[in-house]
Each structure stands twice: as structure tokens, then as C-alpha cells.
Amino acid sequence: MPLQIIRNDITKLTCDAIVNAANSSLLGGGGVDGAIHKAAGKGLLLECMKLGGCKVGQAKITGGYNLSCKYVIHTVGPKWHGGTNGERELLESCYRESLRLALEHDCQSVVFPLISSGIYGYPKDQALKVAVDCITEFLIEHDMLVYIVVFDKSSFKISEKLFTDIAAFIDDKYVDTHFIFRRTQRDAWGESAVLGTTELVRSDEPVQVALSSEELREDEISTSEKNSFQTQAPSISLEEMLKQEDESFSQALLRKIDERGMTDSECYKKANVDRKLFSKIRSDIHYHPSKTTAIAFAVALELNLDETNDLLQRAGFALSHSSKFDIIIEYFITNGNYNVFEINEALFAFDQALLGV
């Protein structure tokens, strides 16, 4: 996945470069800067002493010393003074300059903390947005694995309104479904059965979760099949329709990319999917993607809900109302928001798997 948000301690990660949210002296400090210097050891400080400091919005590179990375890229974020003092531009410059250095040093993988969002007081949701925007812009032109690491849950915030909206949407759908499932399940197995999630699995695989009775799965499959028929454009000939019914996931994906006039790279980049994985899917018509990959492509293609279910079904999956993950995807699709990175931010905030590989 070219951009991933992870929760971890940046000093514990193995990658080509980690980025340090430093101050302009480059001689260490608190927060992530303090943690990096402590873990890297004296050698890092000695090298930093030779660099002559660094301006806000700029970046400088050193070795990784005792860390599990080749390089540390030190960048100095802006202090937050209310947002009208060029903070955003300076923060964008931190990401761009750091990525430029990473590229110059042939880094394949780079990890960023949320620069300026701690001691420097940049509001965390806005800091995250700047990070995601700058990194995705960079990834349109370059192949690199970039991670944003957030230290703990409290240091990560999507906008309050989005969070509340999604929470309400989940509540709505989830409660409804559980009421229905509770009834269905009670009918099938009696009162004592355990409630769980009903992720649809490939039809040739055993049912993985307690709740998915065979009937329920078939119910869901036939619902999505029905839906997929509803989405067929009336102008398609019967022959065409029958051909499409037999299409594999990979064939359907490639057809839809063509229909939308997208290039392959536009599509896999928009899906946050790695080029190598896309090549595998392209060259193997029977390729079975993971559910998160399949959904990422549905999002990149801006499919509506029925079309998404149709594509997912070709990979053996479906969206259901008994999984928070699925409901969040449904929320974004029904709101016409097909920004995979914004979806991932929300998924992350709700502790769900992210879209992409």
C-alpha cells in the first residue's frame, strides 16, 4: 500500500528513512525528536552538530545510527499561531522537502510522524490532512511506500463532524442489522448462539464466523446478484450481459478501467494499490484480491453501491451491515466521497483495516 497510516513508536520501525519532527537547532529536544535521538545514540547528535541547523519548512538528512533505518530526515515544522501565519505552507514544505531528500537517497520506504502536531500545537486533524494531501500528491509521480505513524489513539483525530456522522451512520445500519440477525440467528440456532460479524467469504471456502448460516450467505449473495442486475445499463445487449456475468474480478476491473477512460496507473494510484500488485492482477485473470484491495479498486473507479457489490462478488466478497468496516465504506460511497485516503483516515479512526493491498 503506497500510503499507510499505522499506530506505532517511530523508533521501532524498520524502513529506509524515518522523519524527525525537529527544531531548528537540530540538536534534539522533546517529543518524537527526543525519542529518536535517544534510540539512535550519540552518533546522531554528533552528525547533527555539523549541519548548522535547519530552517522551518526545510529538511536535512543524516544516518540512522542505532535505529533500524538507513537515514533520519530532520525537518522543522511550524509552530501553530492560529493558522494565519503561513503555517500550512510551511508544513507542506516539510513534507515535500523530506520526500525530495528521500527520493534523492533512493529510499523505498519512509515513515513520517505527524509533524508539528505535538509540542508545536498544530491541530491534529489539520496536520493529518496536510500530511495526507502532500504525500498523495507526491505518490502520483513517484513509487514509494510512505507511512504516517501516529503514536497513540489520542494523537489522531479526524474532524469531529465526520466522526459523528460516521458514528451515527454505523449506529443506524448496525443496530438494524443486528436486530434482524438476532432474529434470524435465534430462528436458526436458538438463543445461545454468539453474535459476530458476517463477512462474506469466497463461496468455495467454509463459513468463517458463527453467524453466517448457509441460508444467510445465500440470501446476501442473491441480494447482491439482484443489485448487480439492477445496475445493468439497459443499452447493453443480452450477449454482453451474459459475458459480463462470467467475468472474473480481474477482467471486470480492467473493463471498467477502460470504460472510464482511466489509465492503469491512474486507477491503482487512486486505489492506493502498489504497482506490483496491480501487475499481478492484470496478468492473472483468476487473481483473488483481498477484500480491502477489491474495495479500493471499487472506490478508485467511483462505483456506486450496487456496482461495488457486483465487483466484490467477483472476488467472493460483499458488503454487509454486520461489519463496521463495510458500513463505513457504504457511508463514503453513498456520500459520493471516493477519496481513498480520507476513507482510510476514517477507517483508522474506527480501528478498522485500511484500503489498498
As a residue count, the chain comes to 357
Q: Which of 157, 155, 154, 134 is nearest to 146 (CA)?
A: 134
> CA-to-CA distance for 1 and 23, rounded, in angstroms?
30
Give 53 or 196: the residue with its C-beta nearer to ligand AR6: 53
* The C-alpha cell that represents 291 in the structure block: 477484500
**In whole angstroms, how close is the CB of 45 to ligand AR6 at the nearest point?**
12
**In whole angstroms, how close is the CB of 328 to ligand AR6 at the nearest point?**
23
Q: Are 92 and 130 in contact (CB under 8 A)?
A: yes
Give 74 or 256: the residue with its C-beta nearer to ligand AR6: 74
Give 121 or 196: the residue with its C-beta nearer to ligand AR6: 121
- Catalytically active residues, by annotation: 33
**In whole angstroms, how close is the CB of 355 to ligand AR6 at the nearest point?**
23
DSSP annotation of 56: B
**In whole angstroms, how close is the CB of 104 to ligand AR6 at the nearest point?**
23
**In whole angstroms, how close is the CB of 58 to ligand AR6 at the nearest point?**
14
> CA-to-CA distance for 294 and 106, rounded, in angstroms?
30
Give 120 or 325: the residue with its C-beta nearer to ligand AR6: 120
Give 79 or 282: the residue with its C-beta nearer to ligand AR6: 79
H or E segment at 244? helix 238-245
Q: Which own/partner pairs from 88-93 qualify as long-range (CB within 8 Å, at least 24 positions apart)?
A: 88/126, 88/130, 89/57, 90/56, 90/57, 91/57, 91/115, 91/116, 91/122, 91/127, 91/130, 92/130, 92/133, 92/134, 93/57, 93/58
Residues 6+ positions from 263 with CB-CB distance below 8 Å: 257
β-pair type (59-63, 109-113): unpaired
HSE-up (13 A, CA, CB side) for residue 55: 5
Give 119 or 207: the residue with its C-beta nearer to ligand AR6: 119
**In whole angstroms, how close is the CB of 325 to ligand AR6 at the nearest point?**
25
Residues that bind ligand AR6 (CB under 6 A): 9-11, 21-23, 29-33, 35, 77, 113-120, 149, 151, 155
- DSSP collapsed to 3 states, 203-226: CCCCCCCCCCCHHHHHHHHHHHHH
